[in-house]
Amino acid sequence: MRRDRNPLLKLYALAVYAFLFAPIVILILFSFNDSKRNFIWRGFTLKWYPELFGDEALLAALGVTLQVAVIAVVATTILGTLLGLGLARLRSGAASGVADTLILLPMVTPEVVMGISLLLFFALAFSANGSIWQIAIAHIAFSISYVAIIVRARAVSLDPRMEEAARDLGAPPAAAFFHVTLPLIAPAVGAGALIAFALSFDDLIITSFNAGVGSSTLPLYIYSRIRFGVTPEINAISTIIVTVTGVLILAAMRFGARSRARTRAAEAPPASERS
Amino acid sequence: MIRDRRRDAVFLLPGLAWLVVFFAVPLAIIFVVSLGTRDQFGGVILDHLGLQNYHRALEPDFVPTVANSLRYATLTTVFSIAIAYPIAYWISRYGGRRKNLLLILVMLPFWTSWVIRTYAWMIILRDNGVVNGILGALGLTDGPIQLLNTDFSVVLGMTYGFLPFAILPLYVSIDRLDPSLVAAARDLYASGRAAFWHVTLPLTMPGVIAAALLTFIPAIGDFVTPDLLGGAQTTTIAKVIQTLFLSSKDWAFGSALAFLLIVATIVGTVGTLRILRREVIG
């Protein structure tokens, strides 16, 4: 059935992949370049990396970023997982429509709008102007939807008879949830948590409106530095960040793939599926 | 049944309540503040609510900013879809068992920091950057060509950033298309090109529209790319909002601009979805 390979299209596809990865590869290469002006290759060096540890503003920003990310990931994962499970149970009806809209809206609202809306909310309601908690609350608000959607995708494919069986065997609702439902959706919860971490760790626009004195995050710190030019230290810290988030996202995708594979294995008889 | 309902509420309430308090309510506050005025200390006065900030937003000296935003977002959307369609098609038709891997590779740059990816383009495009370095070394140019701080660099940076948003919906849409429909057109002596224009493209229109929305919305709200790759003199709505909130402290006027941005986004989304529905039904 399938036509033979299309070499021209394949070449084009390779070019697009090159376009997608070239800037990141160049950035990584130049972080090992032994030249302050860094537009010509002058040999391999690791000297920019140790310099990062002497930069106190950078370390402080990293500390804030990690604190915010931990708070945001814990809260987002719990709230998003519950929401995803609830949505999977609702399936249809007016309530589900309202809930769906409320979940999708944060994903289509321009980030700058979300950023200032939270700035106004905290300034007018609490006279607050930026703290680790304010940033974390903002991050939770825009990450819940992602976790909810990932968990729902897994939960709708669960066989409700699994939990019913546990209940029939005398398990109280909480025990049935923690021993049956939660283990079954665990890969999706893990994937959601990793994505929540990546979102929080990377966010710049919404954070820029909700950070205050002493609560600058790593992306904000980098942003303020690169407005004044390109430096090898920034190349080095960027390389570290790109590597860490890249590994996390690949891990999240593997979780997701395993989650789908398990779902498929649990379905009997296997549903006919398009390749 | 009733017990089940209560259980649903236990699951749904915490997350939905969070979204109402920290998403919906703050959005409503934007509208209220947009009707207020600024006091001399950079605060907001909400005594005499009126539309004065909206009048200001529609004044002629503000037109170039709006035009810039629309131009950047439109060009980004057009280029993203033009680049994304063939590769989405290739992954769907020729990806074979490696489809998932190919899609993950598309998404991977998207998940790495936005500000860092934009910064990477600064390294490449600046006067003593990679491109000018190569051109100079080859003797093709006498001095550096200005690539950074141009419309070109802004649209390039945005297209690069939002390309995955275009590839994914197009892939889904093309992958759903039954190849036998195209085969039927070919059997009826349609040329490859005719089959594409009359069968493949119309049937994947929902994907094209979804891709357009998913690139246009973030592009119009992005101030990082115009700021870093467009230079100080390039203004867009999002950049003006940022300045009004973070440095010149005119929250009321900034809120009015933000509210207009929300309205434009919602009108665009709803309008597009309506077209989409008509395409699917009719």
* pLDDT tens readout for residues A89-110: 876 667 777 888 888 888 888 8
Separation between Cα atoms, residue B257 and residue B43, nearest integer Å: 17
Confidence at residue A11, expressed as pLDDT on a 0 to 100 scale: 92
With beta carbons less than 8 A apart as the criterion, state whether B89 and A15 touch. Answer: no
Arithmetic mean of pLDDT, B149-167: 92
Q: How many CA atoms lie within 13 A of A55 on its CB side?
A: 19
**Which of chain A's residues have a Cβ under 8 Å away from the Cβ of B163?**
16, 20
**B128: nearest CB among A9, A37, A103:** A37
Residue A1 domain flag: no
| Cα separation, B8 vs B10, whole angstroms | 5
**CB within 8 A of B7, min separation 6: which ones?**
A89, A173
3-state secondary structure (DSSP) of residue A265: helix
Residue A257 pLDDT > 90? no
CA distances (Å), A25 to each of A168, B6, B41, B102, in order?
Answer: 56, 52, 47, 18
Q: Has residue A135 been placed in a domain?
A: yes
Residue B43 binned pLDDT confidence (cut-offs 50, 70, 90): confident
- Domain membership of residue A40 (yes or no) is no
Q: Check CB contact under 8 Å for B19 and A141.
A: yes
Residues in chain B: 282
Tell which of B5, B6, B22, B176 to mutate to test the A interface (max A CBs under 10 Å).
B22
Residue with tokens 């089940």: B4
Query: Is residue A6 assigned to a domain?
Result: no
**Greater model confidence, A264 or A242:** A242
Distance CA B211, CA B138 (A): 39
In a domain, A19, yes or no: no
pLDDT in the model for residue B187 = 85
**Considering the domain boundaries, does residue A275 fall inside one?**
no
Flag whether pLDDT at A144 surpasses 90: yes
Question: In this structure, what are the phi and psi dihedrals at residue B37, rounded to the nearest 5 degrees?
Answer: -130, 165
Contacting A residues, span 180-239, partner chain B, CB-CB under 8 Å: 198, 201-202, 204-205, 208-209, 219, 222-223, 226-227, 230, 234-235, 238
Asked whether residue B87 carries a pLDDT value surpassing 70, the answer given is yes
Mean pLDDT (chain B) is: 86
% residues pLDDT > 70 (chain B): 95
Interchain CB contact of B98 with A (< 8 Å): no
The shortest C-alpha distance from A152 to chain B (Å) reads 12
A13 vs B contacts (CB less than 8 Å): 86-87, 90-91
Q: Specify the DSSP class assigned to residue B43.
A: -
Provide the b/e sequence for A9-26 (b: ≥16 CB within 10 Å). eeebbeebeebbeebbeb
Domain ranges, residue A130? 49-266
- Does pLDDT of A275 surpass 50? no
User: How far lies A119's CA from each of A6, A271, B51, B126, B277, in Å?
Assistant: 52, 49, 22, 34, 37
B200 to chain A, closest Cα gap in Å: 16
Q: Does B18 touch chain A (CB under 8 A)?
A: yes
Q: Mark yes or no for CB contact B19/A205 under 8 Å.
A: no
Q: How far apart are CA B30 and CA B252, in angstroms?
A: 8
ipTM of the complex: 0.83
Q: Do B116 and A241 touch (CB under 8 A)?
A: yes
| A9-21 per-position pLDDT tens digit | 899 999 999 999 9
Cβ(B196)–Cβ(B50) under 8 Å? no
Work out whether the CA dihedral A179, A184, A186, A192 comes out positive or negative. Answer: negative
**Chain B hits for A222, Cβ within 8 Å:** 113, 115-116, 119
Three-state SS at A43: coil
CATH number assigned to the domain comprising residue A81: 1.10.3720.10
Q: Does A47 touch chain B (CB under 8 A)?
A: no
Nearest-angstrom CA–CA distance, B192 and B203: 15
For A:122-161, CB contacts with B below 8 A are 124, 137-138, 140-141, 144-145, 148
Whether the per-residue pLDDT at B149 is higher than 50: the answer is yes
pLDDT level of residue A256 (50, 70, 90 thresholds): low
Q: Do A121 and B22 touch (CB under 8 A)?
A: yes
* Cross-chain residue pair A27–B123, CB shorter than 8 Å: yes
Q: Is residue A150 part of a domain?
A: yes
The domain tally of chain A equals 1
| A41: CB partners within 8 A, 6+ apart | A29, A33, A35
What is d(CA A105, CA A209) in angstroms, rounded to the nearest whole number?
A: 20
The answer to whether the Cβ–Cβ distance between B100 and A83 falls below 8 Å is no
Q: Are A70 and A108 in contact (CB under 8 A)?
A: no
3-class DSSP assignment, residue B91: helix
| Residue of A89, A91, A116, A122 to mutate, interface with B, max B Cβ within 10 Å | A116
Q: The whole model's pTM is what?
A: 0.84
Residues 205-224 (B) with a CB less than 8 A from some CB of A: 213, 217-218, 220-224
The Cα B105–Cα A253 span in angstroms is: 11
State the average pLDDT over residues B222-247. Answer: 88
- Residue A162 is assigned to a structural domain of this protein: yes
- Pair of tokens at residue A113: 């709008």
Above 90 in pLDDT, residue B255? yes
Please work out, in degrees rounded to the nearest 5, the angle formed at the alpha carbon of residue A130 by the alpha carbons of A99 and A58.
Answer: 110
Within 215-274 of B, beta carbons closer than 8 Å to A belong to 217-218, 220-224, 227-228, 238, 241-242, 245-246, 251, 254-255, 258, 261-262, 265, 269
Selected residue of B38, B83, B85, B112 to mutate for chain A interface (largest A Cβ count, 10 A): B112
Q: Where are the alpha helices (DSSP H) in chain A?
A: 7-30, 48-52, 56-90, 94-108, 111-126, 132-155, 160-168, 173-176, 182-202, 205-210, 218-226, 232-266
Q: Check CB contact under 8 Å for B86 and A13.
A: yes
* pLDDT value for A271: 43
Averaged confidence pLDDT in chain A: 84
With 0-12 / 13-18 / 19 or more C-beta atoms within 10 angstroms meaning exposed / middle / buried, residue A191 is: buried
Rg of chain A taking only CA atoms, in angstroms: 23
A111 or B41: which carries more pLDDT confidence?
A: A111
Who has greater pLDDT, B237 or B111?
A: B237
Q: Is residue A152 over pLDDT 80?
A: yes
Distance CA A31, CA A48 (A): 7
- What one-character DSSP code corresponds to residue B51? S
Q: Walk me through the domains of chain B, giving residue ranges and CATH numbers.
A: 62-281 (1.10.3720.10)
